């Protein structure tokens, strides 16, 4: 993921490329520093690692904004 980010391939739809990564035993949690959007990337086994090697871009979606009915 670091290599993808260095090439500008990790970004959020809100327009920000300021993304923080937190490593966990079975996944990587990415969070947009601007809007709080997030994405979990599986890291359970070697197959997940091989798949990530083929990815060129990772896009984070901003959080949904719910509208309250009045």
pLDDT for the residue numbered 64:
81
What's the pLDDT at 60? 95
1: nearest Cα among 42, 53, 36, 44? 53
Per-residue pLDDT, 28 = 92
Per-residue pLDDT tens, the chain, 70 aa: give them.
888 888 999 999 999 999 999 989 889 999 999 999 999 999 888 888 788 888 899 999 998 876 666 5
Residues 6+ apart with CB under 8 A from 37: 12, 13, 14, 31, 60, 61, 62, 63
pTM over 0.85: no
């Amino acid at each position: 993921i670091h290599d993808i980010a260095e090439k500008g391939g990790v970004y959020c739809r809100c327009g920000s490329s300021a993304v923080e990564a937190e490593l966990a035993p079975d996944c990587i949690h990415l969070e947009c520093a601007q809007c709080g959007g997030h994405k979990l990337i599986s890291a359970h086994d070697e197959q997940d690692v091989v798949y990530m090697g083929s990815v060129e871009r990772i896009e984070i979606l901003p959080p949904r904004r719910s509208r309250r009915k009045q």
